[in-house]
Chains A and B, each alone.
Chain A
């Protein structure tokens, strides 16, 4: 069974409970106290230590001004660029079909960072709290997964992103963000079940005159369907999502071919040069 998230943006009220629950459960440090001036979004973007991010899209220029909110997260792609790029095998697809970074394997090469077409994964810098003190994590936890996670975050230097609460799922619990969401904007469950529910929701909204569509379902692109998909009411760009994400490994055949042709041509030319008197 593949588990995942269905994030219904029409239900999001921008409370950021998901952000807080994620930080708390995963023992991730705060993003600091900075006012961005971009609506109520002071988080900015997903990062190595921010695994849920609520964006606030203010559209005051429309005839009917509106405010869109979306809780963004790692998409857990069917064909994941980060997983393909990872040279150590630290990034795996786990038994829940989620894309998971093993924190004790990752050596921080950084190749997954530009390989993500959604700009999700990033390297975790050595961590300190907002006043610059080194964070000491409590490793007395009984759960071995959580101990590994804490140890990684104390030292940094590895890649970080949403684990889809691998540790909670292994204990039969709902991921922290979905559990905390007060409006069920974030729903967790079997992906096929979620997709059926989401399609019904689109029809419902359609009958009410709200145009909506699913982002990451029945996709034709190289990334495939997203195990964490979204119901949106505006174009993907409005939420900072790429409309047609491309799987980076699809660039490889052309690259290897031109490299081989160039090398062969120069080698032949070189052979002629060195044979000549």
Chain B
């Protein structure tokens, strides 16, 4: 009856004058900044919950810092997001509905819940144990951004439906640990050493997932791993942002470096982790635009 399969007797048609099939995502620096800061915000809330039971003075200070970071970022992040809208004055339209199928809708409502809890806990109004609720919401915020971009038709993002959300979580936690250790650089070594071990774990996982994605994505991954953007990504994220902090943090842990040298190592590895985290988000968004331009990738949309 009806032939759903196209006739194949013609010469293979590669594309239509090489014109893009898909539209480029219209997201720029503000979305990149949100992905970066949202990851730090979520990671900070997780760290606050992890350090909550700690008794040492530096751990108590860590909890306070992490809560304040969460609150500050829960105010900044919505503003950054509003700035990227085509019609910023209509930002409240985001709260017309809750749509479970739309990661962006879920993200907006998580931000609302998160900032409410963050305000309450800094003001001392929250019931005990709420830090764990906040940590769960915060972890969701660190991860949903990855789901959001991979739930699109952009070939490289769609191909990364497993890798990108995991990388988002790792990068958020690593960046948050880096920022918190930076804020504690004048304090004793106890909390910082723990933070750096957490950062070590998150960065190691992130590096492994990013290397696996390069293999798994194949040609789909070209906009991220090849060309000038690929070189920048390799230098600033894979090397400076992940490998170097991994070496610094692990040698610090093994050699038990403390005191002034320990502080120098903290500042160095934290700054590089944060830089690498930002470049990762930027590379992901920009690679999506290049990927949208490639008709051959769009014709073979990943399942």
B19: chain A residues within 8 A (beta carbon):
38, 44-45, 240
A218 contact from B4, B152, B168, Cβ within 8 A: B4
Q: Are B147 and A256 in contact (CB under 8 A)?
A: yes
Chain B interface residues toward A at CB < 8 A: 1-17, 19-27, 46-47, 50-51, 53-54, 59, 84-88, 90-91, 93-94, 96-97, 99, 101-105, 108, 135, 139-140, 142-144, 146-154, 157-158, 161-166, 168-170, 173, 194, 197-198, 201-202, 205, 288, 292, 295, 298-299, 301-303
What string of 1s and 0s marks CB contacts (under 8 Å) between A234-268 and chain B?
A: 11111111111110111110111011111101110
Interface string of A108-146 (1 = CB under 8 A from B): 111101111111111110000000000000000000000
Q: How many Cβ-Cβ contacts under 8 Å join chain A to chain B?
A: 284
Distance between Cα atoms of A248 and B102 in the complex (Å): 10
Contact across chains for B102 and A87 when beta carbons are under 8 A apart:
yes
Q: Please, which residues of chain B bring their CB within 8 A of the CB of A84?
A: 99, 101-102
Give A268 Cβ to nearest chain B Cβ, in Å. 10
- The 8 listed contacts between A and B (C-beta, < 8 Å) are A84-B99, A110-B25, A110-B86, A119-B23, A234-B13, A246-B301, A269-B198, A273-B50
CA distance A115 to B165 in the complex (A): 17
Flag if A86 contacts B102 (CB, 8 Å).
Answer: yes
What 13 new A-B contacts, CB under 8 Å, besides A57-B13, A119-B23? A38-B17, A88-B97, A106-B86, A109-B86, A113-B26, A114-B25, A211-B7, A251-B151, A252-B101, A259-B169, A267-B46, A270-B47, A273-B50
Determine whether A274 belongs to the interface, using a CB cutoff of 8 Å to chain B.
Answer: yes
* Residues A88 and B93 in contact in the complex (CB < 8 Å), given A114-B157, A235-B6, A266-B202: yes
**Is B86 touching A90 in the complex (CB atoms < 8 A)?**
no
**Given A84-B101, A107-B94, A252-B151, CB of A242 within 8 Å of CB of B301:** yes
Distance of A220 from chain B, by nearest CB (Å): 7
Q: Which of A121, A155, A218, A273 has the most CB of B within 10 A?
A: A273
Which residues 212-249 of A have a CB within 8 angstroms of B? 213-215, 217-220, 232-246, 248-249
B47 touches A259 (CB 8 A): no
When the two chains form their complex, are residues B16 and A107 in contact, meaning their CB atoms are under 8 A apart? no
Q: How far is the CB of A209 from chain B (nearest CB, A)?
A: 12
Closest to A70 in B: B16
Taking a contact as CB atoms closer than 8 A, the residue among A123, A211, A244 that contacts B9 in the complex is A211
B267, chain A: closest CB distance, angstroms: 21
- Residues of B within 8 Å of A55, CB to CB, are 16
Q: Are A119 and B298 in contact (CB under 8 A)?
A: yes
* A117 and B140 alpha carbons, distance in the complex (Å): 26
Cα–Cα distance between A262 and B203 once the two chains are bound (Å): 12
Residue of B nearest to A232 (CB): B6
Do residues B87 and A114 form an inter-chain contact, with CB atoms below 8 A? no
Note all chain A residues with C-beta closer than 8 A to B13: 57, 59, 234-235, 237-238
Partner of B53, one of A41, A109, A275: A275
Report A48 CB to chain B, min CB distance, Å. 9
B108 → chain A, closest Cβ, in Å? 6
Q: Which of B16, B147, B162, B205 contacts A239 (CB 8 A)?
A: B16
Nearest Cβ on chain A to B114's Cβ, whole angstroms? 15
Q: Shortest distance in angstroms between B266's beta carbon and chain A's nearest beta carbon?
A: 16
A98 to B303, CA, bound (A): 25
A45 in contact with B50 (CB, 8 Å): no
Q: B188 CB to closest chain A CB, in angstroms? A: 14
Asked if B99 and A89 make an inter-chain contact with CB atoms under 8 angstroms apart, the answer reads yes
CB distance from A112 to the nearest CB of B (A): 9
- Counting CB contacts under 8 A, is A168 at the interface? no
Whether A259 contacts B144 by the Cβ 8 Å rule is: yes
| A218→B5 CA distance, assembly (Å) | 11
The 8 Å CB contact of A260, one of B17, B97, B143, is B143
Bound complex: CA of A258 vs CA of B166, how far in Å? 6
Selected from A202, A245, A266, the residue in CB contact (under 8 A) with B169 is A266
The verdict on A179 contacting chain B, using a C-beta distance below 8 Å, is: no
Which residues of A sit under 8 angstroms from B302, Cβ to Cβ?
Answer: 246
Contact with B292, one of A114, A156, A269 (Cβ below 8 angstroms): A114
B residues less than 8 Å from A116 (CB atoms): 22-23, 153
